[in-house]
Amino acid sequence: EVQLVESGGGLVRPGRSLRLSCAASGFKFDDYGMHWVRQPPGKGLEWVSGISWNSGSIGHAESVKGRFTISRDNAKKFLYLQMNSLRAEDTALYYCVKDDAGSLRGLLDVWGQGTTVTVSS
């Protein structure tokens, strides 16, 4: 069974850092691009970051550019999101999502259940 399990969320003060992790199983991880998508409380979905199968292509939304970094460890089958200089508006449920292609085609075919990040003083 294809599975994505996020971890690392929690309560953090504005300006601090947090690293999210996503453990992948049930598919050949290093064949597929991966993404992070978030959903603020009571709001819609927002694409955050994406990374191709070999980390050769990486993209971030303008709202997080320069603060967030996506990375992956294909040997361990993990996806990461390093979040620095966190702001209240980064408060959201963060989903780890599999792309249906190795490149960043952008079709999001498998999602995790998410991990919650709350930025508050």
Partner 1 sequence: DIQLTQSPSFLSASVGDRVTFTCRASQGIASYLAWYQLKPGKAPKLLIYAASTLQSGVPSRFSGSGSGTQFTLTISSLQPEDFATYYCQQFNLYPLTFGGGTKVEIK
Tell me the two tokens of residue 100: 């249906």
Q: How far is the CB of 109 from partner 1 (least distance, A)?
A: 5
Q: How far is the CB of 13 from partner 1 (least distance, A)?
A: 27
Spatial distance between the Cα atoms of 7 and 104, rounded to a whole number of angstroms: 23
Spatial distance between the Cα atoms of 37 and 50, rounded to a whole number of angstroms: 9
Q: How far is the CB of 120 from partner 1 (least distance, A)?
A: 22
* 81 vs 104 by CB, closer to partner 1: 104
DSSP H or E run through 80: strand 78-83
Tell me the two tokens of residue 34: 């991966």
Which residues lie near partner 1 (CB under 8 A)? 4, 35, 44-47, 50, 59, 61-62, 95, 100, 104-114
* 23 vs 45 by CB, closer to partner 1: 45
CA distances from 117 to 19, 58, 60 (A): 10, 22, 18
Q: How far is the CB of 110 from partner 1 (least distance, A)?
A: 8
* 73 vs 100 by CB, closer to partner 1: 100
